[in-house]
């Protein structure tokens, strides 16, 4: 069965992600986690990778206050990495304004059908670079990058559409 790529108006699939919490990894179900709030979510192919660290995450850190002023309750970063890596990246490059949700097994990337093949770089199967605004579990805005680009998934672009 071929899954369809998630689209605006779709409900976010219910999968388990691991939150990189202060006291260690905590499992969260997306259906519960995204319920009743407006979340700016962005996905990167990997923590600590060049574009992600130099531009993508810092953009959301920088624009966190602006996003919140536009009604966003929480900013979430997801990647196909384990929670320990995501937690370390959050400490190194992020801020308390960005919640790190690890998609260690790639279940979320597969469920929204936004998987990329990073095996040429030794990364295996990863999530594509994208961003979305999720309101009470429903996708309101979806910005998926073409391979190797960083344009539409930035915090600036999202802000411009909010």
Nearest to 129 by CA among 54, 63, 73: 54
d(CA 9, CA 137): 10
Query: Is 44:61 a contact under the CB 8 Å cutoff?
Result: no
Residue tagged active-site, from 17, 20, 47, 52 = 52
Query: Is 43:79 a contact under the CB 8 Å cutoff?
Result: yes
Catalytic site residue 77?
no
In 30-137, the DSSP E strands lie at: 38-43, 74-79, 98-102, 115-117, 125-127, 130-135
Catalytic residues: 52
């Amino acid at each position: 069965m071929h899954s369809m790529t998630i689209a605006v108006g779709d409900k976010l699939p219910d999968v388990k992600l691991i939150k990189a919490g202060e006291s260690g990894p905590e499992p969260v179900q997306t259906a519960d986690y995204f319920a009743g709030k407006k979340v700016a979510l962005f996905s990167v192919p990997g923590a600590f990778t060049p574009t992600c660290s130099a531009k993508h995450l810092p953009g959301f850190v920088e624009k966190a206050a602006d996003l919140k002023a536009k009604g966003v309750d929480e900013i979430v970063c997801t990647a196909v990495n384990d929670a320990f890596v995501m937690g370390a990246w959050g400490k190194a490059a992020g801020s308390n304004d960005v919640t790190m949700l690890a998609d260690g097994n790639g279940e979320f990337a597969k469920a929204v059908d936004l998987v990329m093949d990073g095996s040429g770089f030794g990364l295996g199967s990863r999530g594509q670079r994208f961003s979305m605004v999720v309101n009470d579990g429903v996708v309101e805005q979806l910005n998926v990058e073409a391979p190797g680009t960083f344009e539409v998934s930035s915090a600036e672009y999202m802000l411009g559409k909010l």
